[in-house]
Chains A and B, each alone.
Chain A
Amino acid sequence: MNPDTRKTARARRQRRLQRRLPTNPYLQITSMTDMFTLILAFLLTFYDPSIVGAPSLVLPAVPVNAEEKPGPRIDVRSDGIVVDGVLVVTLDGHGGLRPGVERDAEGIPAVREALSARARDSATLLVACDKSAPYGIVGDVLASAHAAGFDDYRFVVESTR
């Protein structure tokens, strides 16, 4: 086959291919949108800003894998005590009570007050403590919870098992 004939055949093939392709092709992004929407929905469902990214609440990692129960939750962070997402007592940043915060033989009155309404609905209290929190403040919280009517505590931990 001479070179001119070959060039003509190639040009014909290209013209035929161009005729087959749409004149105004759009990027097909529907599947990609589906995928990203699913990923976003997954992340938003499992994203818990109360734990994730809170430097004042780092849970201890221990090898347990126990049954989980629902209930009202109290967070003992290094900078405050939070009951169901509401800051009740501000701490000094190291898990200690700030001067002037009232404390009595039954714990911390502000915590007791915040928990007493919730104790009517559930006997179980979820306690999420920062791993560096001294047991003194955890004990105060437990004493307050006990006085408010809770007798079953579930400590929220990061499971390594």
Chain B
Amino acid sequence: MDDGGDVRSLRTESDGVAAHLDGITKVFGKLTALDQVSFTANRGRIQALVGENGAGKTTLMRVLYGALKPEQGAISLHGNEVQLDSAADGISHHIGMVSQHYAIIPELTCLQNLMLGAEPEAWIKQAECISRADELATKMGFSFDWTAKAETLSPSGAQKLEILKLLWRDAEIMILDEPTAMLSPADSDALFGSLRQLADQGAAIIVVTHRLPEVLDYCDHVTVLRGGKLMADKPVSETNAEELAELIIGHGVDAPVLDEFEPGEILLKVASLTVKGERGDEAVQGADLTLRSGEVVGLAGVDGSGQRELFQAILGLLNPVSGSILLCGADAERVSPSKRIEQGLRLIAEDRHAEGVVDDWSLEANASLGLQRLEPLRSGPWIDRKERADFAQQSTDLFAAKHQGIDKPMSSLSGGNQQRFVAARALLLRPKVILAFQPTRGLDIDGAAQVFSQLRKTCRDENAAALVVSFDLDELIEHTDRIVAMSGGRIQSPPPGEEKSRKIIGELMVEAG
């Protein structure tokens, strides 16, 4: 790698600037997503753009290809300052982006996907198109059955097709958002091989990633963003994993001391759990995790590290490929989701609208959502309406969610108040194991602190345990008893005594450890 590194940097010096963003500021409402960020992409170079969720990576890239207009700053492409008003402008300037979730339409053939939106003529001459497609594929060392349906493609095949789509559109500046998220290590190697080849042919490649090994092994240059600010912009050869991890995560305040408690019996034990995700990839890989009564455990990690699939497996909505889940001392295999809820499993759902409420139902009807089979909300086969109304009242009162009556629809509450309501609901009726996915989403600092302090109180007082997913490490350090990190489907615990060490957990999150 060392020799290669030198050669790369020499070449980098001699090649021209393909795109330059100068002093970009982008504001969404009160949030400054990008603050005076400058960024350069050179031809012949693979450039990494790294940072936590919400650091501004995607926003910056959307500014580059014209999908977002910045409040301040200038964009120049191939040496000329340009005005980009839409993504179509970006494409006409030979900028292309492959997003994390591929835009491949499974029902169309590979060829149709390749050409979609960039068909050469109104009447498609299939044979000519196939021969041009083959030419592009051969150049990259790929091979495709162009008339096969795209649904037959593996994740790496789909990724290759996405790259060919960029070539079909004559993209010279190529942005890839988390390109290896769905790929196996071998496929990732091959992908970066292809990207290197494209760079050698004069393309400017930008890879948005949170995986430091990839940056160190395959990229020439790295730009680090944190909280919308530029933290570093330097050749990869001049940095290392520890430095990058610290630049990405930052120095936080030390953990405050939480109330003391003695962890009790094991309430949840996940052992060597492997779960397949939606795309057939192993989203959770041999994960181990133990929750004891009384404790609130943080699950740190960037979005998409397998948290979602882990939760669904614990809830009984996804069947594990292997491994076991012990819930309240009993093997949960083949135990239905509703039985698990009866045993005390509670959820604060990630996507409130889709998973946690019915918007046009009353608060009262929403109060028993997920708890509808539990006494006293149920009495025999019937709903106990008085108990349910009381419960709805408690659910609004616990975090003082502002409302105009429990008979009013859920949609009459603001997002923050809805979140207060669903968080309260999960804590109020005999919880044993609480799974909380970003439980403070949409809440201000005070609201978030209230939810966490009630969560700890519930766990301590009622001998329950909680597992909290958050993409904000500081939040977990401040409010949870200990933290484990999830990355690429694996869960790693920091060594004893370092359970809340920002540096060590940060490294585990980005696989720098």
A binds B: no
Instruction: Please report A residues at the B interface, Cβ cutoff 8 Å.
Output: none
Instruction: Please report B residues at the A interface, Cβ cutoff 8 Å.
Output: none
